[in-house]
């Protein structure tokens, strides 16, 4: 029985280093805690085991669960709806049934491993029913929930079938965390609209308990990125990448995203194509490198996005390229953390232009990597990170002309302006790393 339990869709085993794992693993390890999650392989449920000082408690998902709960309800219904309906949500009753059944399985696993009065921290949109289910099973627990993606406006949320179930599920937590203050306000408005509750400030009374909804903007492991950026091998890799990708060209622009329709990749490529067409940039002086990490490729919308992006890349390279010199390098592949940092160091301009993003940690990683205070960040105003990184070149990614304006401004900016902007952004990121995020959330969960 453990005093601290993390509940997330995936286990921290075989996961690449990432914000969530790097933030929570040390806390879980130091408290002798447990992590409840899925291995990532269907129809597999190993016995509980120890991993790097953390008790791992696997939850089994069948192939049908993965199809209905994960790829269906989580990623084809909730994900697009919570990202402002960038793509239409798909609704199927069997998906909802599977989502409820899998959430119950996670809640039961957490209840089984948590000690009397333990703290349980549940994560993200795949498990929004878990806090309420866990509260019924174990009313003695302190339960926190954090949503890593945006939380939609009331008008959009109201489209969700069984919408009240989700609000009740989240109200099972003592503390519900969001990336942005507006998201917390959207949630509290829904408690009034759907349940007739009366929030006061950031708190609402529900079934004899006080539930707090508050913003806790997530961040990155700054020291990990800083160490990689200082590594001579990574710096050498950056120089080699710069030469391999850019040749003798003056400017290297970079995009690094999961291949997801929320990331604005096709709008970004369209804008770059127009900059080439109107002569603002030329294949002789600039190159755009787009790394697109494969993601959810069994979902039809993602397959269609891949086809659109690859067709546009081919058109631009065919129209504006030359023998041995393409204006756009497109890499549909995963890269290690060290390889990404080398790319950040090689890039003059980082393009982070999602249509909607809860936070976007790539923007913060780029800033953390730039120990030289060089480089420019072109950032969508619809990311959570835009509120913290206001010294970036902010753009509206829906407006191709505004994207072009932002990129052009970054190209034209002088070294002193760029260094001043980067210095301020680096101070912000250093002061608010992922360890501070986790500490603030858990302190609020323990004392509010």
Q: Are 148 and 218 in contact (CB under 8 A)?
A: yes
And the tokens for 300? 């039809």
Residue 357 falls in the annotated catalytic set: yes
Q: Are 352 and 380 in contact (CB under 8 A)?
A: yes
Alpha helices, DSSP H only, in 84-221? 93-113, 130-137, 154-157, 163-171, 181-195
Q: How many CA atoms lie within 13 A of 440 on its CB side?
A: 17
Count of other CB atoms within 10 angstroms of residue 100: 17
Q: Are 368 and 426 in contact (CB under 8 A)?
A: yes
Q: Are 2 and 118 in contact (CB under 8 A)?
A: yes
SS (H, E, C) 394-441: EECCCCHHHHHHHHHHHHHCCHHHHHHHHHHHHHHHHHCCHHHHHHHH
- 182 in helix, strand or coil? helix
Which candidate in 174, 257, 357, 433 is catalytic? 357
Which candidate in 148, 165, 237, 348 is catalytic? 148
Any idea which residue has 């609402």 for tokens?
A: 204
Query: What amino acid positions are annotated as catalytic residues?
Result: 148, 357
């Amino acid at each position: 029985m453990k005093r601290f339990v993390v509940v997330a869709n995936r286990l921290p085993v075989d996961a690449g280093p990432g914000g969530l794992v790097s933030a929570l693993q040390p806390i879980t390890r130091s408290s002798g805690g447990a992590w409840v999650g899925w291995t990532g392989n269907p129809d597999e449920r190993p016995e509980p085991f120890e991993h790097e000082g953390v008790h791992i408690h696997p939850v089994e998902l069948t192939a049908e669960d993965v199809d209905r709960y994960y790829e269906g309800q989580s990623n084809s219904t909730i994900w697009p709806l919570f990202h402002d309906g960038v793509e239409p949500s798909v609704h199927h009753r069997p998906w909802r049934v599977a989502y409820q059944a899998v959430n119950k399985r996670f809640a039961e696993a957490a209840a089984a491993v948590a000690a009397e009065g333990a703290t349980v921290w549940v994560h993200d949109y795949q498990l929004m029913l878990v806090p309420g289910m866990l509260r019924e099973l174990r009313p003695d627990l302190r339960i926190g929930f954090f949503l890593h993606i945006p939380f939609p406006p009331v008008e959009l949320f109201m489209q969700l079938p069984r919408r009240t179930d989700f609000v009740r599920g989240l109200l099972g937590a003592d503390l519900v965390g969001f990336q942005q203050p507006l998201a917390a306000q959207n949630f509290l408005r829904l408690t009034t609209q759907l349940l007739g509750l009366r929030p006061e400030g950031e708190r609402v009374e529900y079934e004899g308990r006080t539930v707090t909804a508050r913003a806790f903007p997530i961040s990155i492991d700054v020291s990990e990125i800083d160490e990689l950026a200082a590594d001579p091998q990574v710096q050498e890799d950056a120089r080699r990448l710069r030469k391999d990708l850019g040749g003798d060209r003056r400017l290297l622009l970079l995009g690094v995203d999961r291949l997801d329709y929320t990331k604005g990749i096709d709008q970004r490529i369209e804008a770059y194509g127009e900059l080439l067409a109107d002569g603002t940039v030329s294949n002789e002086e600039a190159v755009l490198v787009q790394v697109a990490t494969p993601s959810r490729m069994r979902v039809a919308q993602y397959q269609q996005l891949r086809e659109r992006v690859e067709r546009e890349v081919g058109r631009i390279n065919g129209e504006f390229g030359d023998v041995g010199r393409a204006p756009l390098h497109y890499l549909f592949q995963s890269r290690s953390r060290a390889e990404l940092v080398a790319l950040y160091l090689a890039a003059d301009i980082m393009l982070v232009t999602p249509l909607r993003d809860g936070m976007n940690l790539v923007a913060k990683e780029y800033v953390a990597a730039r120990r030289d205070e060089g480089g420019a960040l072109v950032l969508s105003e619809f990311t959570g990170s835009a509120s913290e990184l206001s010294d970036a070149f902010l753009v509206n990614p829906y407006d191709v002309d505004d994207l072009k304006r932002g990129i052009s401004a970054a190209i034209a900016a002088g070294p002193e302006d760029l260094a001043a902007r980067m210095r301020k952004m680096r101070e912000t990121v250093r002061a608010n790393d992922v360890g501070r995020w986790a500490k603030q959330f858990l302190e609020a969960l323990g004392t509010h």
